[in-house]
Amino acid sequence: MIGFPVSFPITTVNLSPGSHLLIEDVSWEQYEALLEELGSDRAIPRINYCSRTLELMSPLPAHERPHRIIADIVKVLLDVRDRDWEDFGSTTFRKPKKAGLEADTCLYIENATQVRSLLRIDLDVDPPPDLAIESDVTSKTTLDAYEAIAVPEVWIYENNKLRIYILQSEGYKLNQNSAIFPDLAILEMIPRLIAQAYREGTSQMLRQLRREAIAV
């Protein structure tokens, strides 16, 4: 049993879909021990850690679909511009003694070539992902862990709207434009394309997007 400040083993917690649990006063060693005990092949719960607070979350389909669709959109936009990318999904990123997080989805873009052969990321020597995508349905994304890991750009989709955060020297700043796609109206494009995916099907939306992006 891991010595969490609760009266039951944390591994016995059974989160129903949509559940969100915060546990305070958790040490870094307890967080790492929990990751090891649960194993790297689990799908749930999602686990984040920052400032001695452990967050566990079991996503709903309403949580999972948007960030997956957004990631597919990003890949199409990169492909038609002949830009490399590597999708690291919900990989666990750890900055020892500071933070650990599992993004809904994350991608390497500028550093895609550097990490493409890696099966494990060590942030002491490897770069963080260039883009993290979060879908806020059952919980609210806090940017503290992302700032500790130094992810350059974070997109948060909530209530049919997208927010873009760019990391600067003083922390994250809400921005109207993406540094990855500075010439595109991403804030307008993403909600519109997600709505189209729900209405017409994701594959059809992506095919149309690819045709239109190539034609531009």
CATH number at residue 205: 3.90.1570
| Cβ atoms within 10 Å of 158's Cβ, excluding its own | 14
**For residue 14, is it within any domain?**
no
**For residue 34, is it within any domain?**
no
**For residue 32, is it within any domain?**
no
SS3 string, 29-92, reads HHHHHHHHHHCCCCCCCEEEEECCEEEEECCCHHHHHHHHHHHHHHHHHHHCCCCCCEECCCCE
**For residue 11, is it within any domain?**
no
Q: What stretches of the chain adopt beta strand conformation (E)? A: 20-24, 46-50, 53-57, 86-87, 92-95, 99-102, 105-108, 131-135, 153-158, 161-168, 171-175
CA–CA distance, 55 with 174 (Å, rounded to integer):
24
- Its domain, for residue 72, covers 60-215
Q: Which two tokens stand for residue 131?
A: 């883009």
**For residue 115, is it within any domain?**
yes
**For residue 31, is it within any domain?**
no
Q: Which two tokens stand for residue 125?
A: 């020597």
Number of domains in the chain: 1
**For residue 106, is it within any domain?**
yes
**Sheet bearing 20-24, strands edge to edge:** 20-24, 53-57, 46-50, 99-102, 92-95
Burial of 107 (0-12, 13-18, 19+ CB in 10 A): buried
Render each residue's pLDDT in the chain as its tens digit; 216 residues: 344 444 345 555 566 666 677 888 888 898 888 888 877 665 567 788 888 888 887 766 556 789 999 999 999 999 999 999 999 998 889 988 888 888 889 999 999 999 999 988 999 999 999 999 998 754 555 788 999 999 999 999 998 999 999 999 999 999 999 999 999 999 999 999 999 999 999 999 999 999 999 887
**For residue 190, is it within any domain?**
yes
| Structure confidence by residue, pLDDT tens digits, 34-89 | 888 877 665 567 788 888 888 887 766 556 789 999 999 999 999 999 999 999 99
